[in-house]
A and B are shown apart, each in its own frame.
Chain A
Amino acid sequence: MFNYLTADIQHRFGRAMGSLIGVALGVALFIALIAAGNGFREAARQPLADIDADILISRPDNAGGAAAQTTRGVRQPFGLSLLTRDEADKLQNVDGVGGVSGGLLLWDFGANSYQTVLGIDVTDASAGSATVGPAQAADWIVNGRFFTADETDVIVVDRHYAAFFGLKPGEEIEVGRRPFTVIGIIEVPGGKQAAAANFYLPLADAQALAGLDGDQINQIYLRVDEAGDVETVVDDSEQLLGDISAMTEQSIVQVMGGVAQVSDRFAAVAAFAALLGGLILTAITLSAGINLRAGEVGVMKAVGWQARDVVRLFTAEGVMLSFLGTLLGILLGWAAIWLLGRIPVDLTLLAGTTPDFGGVAGEVETAVYTLPAHLSWNAVLLAMGTAVSGGGLASLFSARRAARLKPADALRQ
């Protein structure tokens, strides 16, 4: 009987393709949409996930203005106002908060260039990856070392910046007209995240560069024990600290724009709708194919095939075509995911990480961050299971109808 199936697919290739193209497109769309949804979610999660945080709190500077753009030297990023370590300590007591740390993000404007500078509280740096926030940068060292809690006048440089300016550990550079010794080079994972900067230095040094006292910061990083509590913690933080801005995975998705938002909300629904549409198309073509072969059903029954033999044949054919369609769909879906993975994702929207105008730092090579779209084997297995069983069921119903034909009636068709 397998002989008959393969011969039918081989010699009626157009009709077979017509049957399997529906399921192929459905599976391809299903896989690609699931990958896009996961990709946008992962892209939105990454800026905070890499520093083991769930929320980045800052305070918007509603009084800031264009006049500040003429400033030289080290200053706070436009649009950001100060927070205090006391405020960070208050957040430590909010229900659901598992960890808190503070940081100070600065911009250093020279005559023809600017750099982003991040002051990191390394009080708990010895705790390593257990630390919340940019102290995680200690894990990203690719050359040299990270600074310790009792060090000053040392600096760690981003790999791309260091490569562009030829900086190596042991050399000295000036930031805000103050010399620092380069002790390490780091590579920011994924290219972009909430703690990305050109320079990383001890928090006390950063505060001194900006003329701030030891209590002042402008970034608070929070880790939440349960992912579902993020929005509640944000609400509680707003109640405690007043006018703040909170960056979360969800807020990044919103800022990333329409496609990301639509994908985040509707990718799964659209994926299932596409798969269902493909299955319906295949069911219709399989059913039509069986109806067209009513004469062959008549021959089968005339030469001694029982109804169950006819049902078994057409069901097997439906399963085989659906399986082949699924394989084709996986290939098409994989190609679509490969294309999705070439889409650049704009994460410069992370507040304060980069001044919004040109400068030497803007010319530094940076890693292009693309959509992290990957083939999900769970999606592949789900699509395959649904498509093959759906195709088999559709064929089963059509085959049972065909098998009920009287042989004499079938032979007349």
Chain B
Amino acid sequence: MNKLLSAEGLSKHFGAVTAVSNIDLQINSGEIVAIMGRSGSGKSTAMHLLAGLESPSDGHVFYQGKDIAGLNEDELALWRRANIGLIFQAFHLIPTLSALENVAFPLYPDGVKTAERDRAAERLAMVGLADRATHRPSRLSGGEQQRVAIARALINNPGLILADEPTGNLDTETGNEILALFHRLRDEAGVSFLIVTHDDEVAATADRVIRMKDGEIVA
């Protein structure tokens, strides 16, 4: 397996509070990895550091061998757009846009023409929501909204999707459907996943589980 993303000595301090302390980890291509821990264990902060949403206090993050910790905000944004997809517990869809427009949202700065709209429609079809393209988020169920978020994360063919509690706001059945979708995307599209969760059942579906406690990797 190829090393896709790795962290070395990664730490994050918020004043006197240490959220993440000197962690090392690695995610390989085609792998589904879960970071597990209780609330406050530092797992979400670790994901934000790996995604470049938060700048580390110490350490390095490498994506395909390139250190991204030294990139500025705009360079990180472009890196995210080109290489990773993000999924959040609260979906974070734009409420005024349709499902199709939400999927195409990362492409807006460069303009969305017919080809991009077709690509967004294709991603929406991949998550089984082709018939919901014109619906706004308020008219979609929680599971459907998360599927739209997944389609949005897939819009630029990322090698890795980082998902923060992706089933946290969903019932068990819908949550299982989302996890099954992750596996299908991994198998069919070769996408790697890093799933942050506090749920043992979710973690059990991953290829590998990294456990965190008090900001440190414990297993």
* Chain A interface residues toward B at CB < 8 A: 1, 3-4, 7-8, 10-12, 295-296, 298-309, 406-408, 411
A303 closest partner in B (C-beta):
B106
B142 to chain A, nearest CB (A): 17
B48 within 8 A of A: yes
Chain B residues closer than 8 Å to A307, beta-carbon distance: 73-74, 77
Chain B residues closer than 8 Å to A309, beta-carbon distance: 108-109
B65 to chain A, nearest CB (A): 21
Question: For window 147-180 of chain B, which residues contact chain A by CB distance below 8 Å?
Answer: 152, 156
B92 and A305 within 8 A (CB): no
Chain A residues closer than 8 Å to B112, beta-carbon distance: 3
Question: For window 41-86 of chain B, which residues contact chain A by CB distance below 8 Å?
Answer: 48, 51, 53-55, 73-74, 77-78, 80-82, 86
B216 to chain A, nearest CB (A): 20
B117 to chain A, nearest CB (A): 10
A301 and B48 within 8 A (CB): no
Chain B residues closer than 8 Å to A298, beta-carbon distance: 92
Chain B residues closer than 8 Å to A8, beta-carbon distance: 96
What are 13 A-to-B residue pairs whose CB atoms are below 8 Å? A3-B112, A4-B97, A10-B96, A298-B92, A299-B92, A299-B93, A299-B94, A302-B86, A303-B105, A304-B80, A307-B74, A406-B55, A408-B54
Residue of A4, A304, A406, A408 touching B94 (CB-CB under 8 A): A4
Chain B residues closer than 8 Å to A296, beta-carbon distance: 94
Q: Which of B51, B86, B136 has the most CB of A within 10 A?
A: B86
Chain B residues closer than 8 Å to A302, beta-carbon distance: 51, 53, 80, 86, 92
A401 to chain B, nearest CB (A): 14
Q: How many Å lie between the Cα of A348 and that of B106 in the bound state? A: 70
B40 within 8 A of A: no
Q: How many Å lie between the Cα of A407 and that of B88 in the bound state? A: 13
Given contacts A303-B86, A406-B54, contact A1 B109 (CB under 8 A): yes
B128 within 8 A of A: no
Chain B residues closer than 8 Å to A3, beta-carbon distance: 97, 101, 108, 112
Chain B residues closer than 8 Å to A303, beta-carbon distance: 80-81, 86, 105-106, 152
Q: How many Å lie between the Cα of A299 and that of B108 in the bound state? A: 13
Chain B residues closer than 8 Å to A7, beta-carbon distance: 96-97, 101
A195 to chain B, nearest CB (A): 65
* Chain B interface residues toward A at CB < 8 A: 48, 51, 53-55, 73-74, 77-78, 80-82, 86, 88, 92-97, 101, 105-106, 108-109, 111-112, 136, 152, 156
B84 closest partner in A (C-beta):
A304
Q: How many Å lie between the Cα of A8 and that of B94 in the bound state? A: 9
B96 and A406 within 8 A (CB): no
B78 and A306 within 8 A (CB): yes
Q: How many Å lie between the Cα of A4 and that of B111 in the bound state? A: 11
A306 and B53 within 8 A (CB): no
Chain B residues closer than 8 Å to A11, beta-carbon distance: 95-96, 136
Residue of B77, B82, B101, B111 touching A301 (CB-CB under 8 A): B77
Q: How many Å lie between the Cα of A12 and that of B106 in the bound state? A: 21
A406 and B53 within 8 A (CB): yes
Chain B residues closer than 8 Å to A408, beta-carbon distance: 48, 53-54
Q: How many Å lie between the Cα of A307 and that of B74 in the bound state? A: 6
Chain A residues closer than 8 Å to B97, beta-carbon distance: 3-4, 7
Chain B residues closer than 8 Å to A305, beta-carbon distance: 77, 81, 106, 108-109
Q: How many Å lie between the Cα of A3 and that of B92 in the bound state? A: 18
Q: How many Å lie between the Cα of A127 and that of B122 in the bound state? A: 84
A10 closest partner in B (C-beta):
B96
Q: How many Å lie between the Cα of A305 and that of B95 in the bound state? A: 18
A98 to chain B, nearest CB (A): 65
A2 to chain B, nearest CB (A): 9
Q: How many Å lie between the Cα of A308 and that of B74 in the bound state? A: 9
Given contacts A7-B97, A8-B96, A299-B94, contact A1 B74 (CB under 8 A): no
B73 and A4 within 8 A (CB): no
Chain A residues closer than 8 Å to B152, beta-carbon distance: 303
Q: Which of B53, B95, B106, B156 has the most CB of A within 10 A?
A: B53
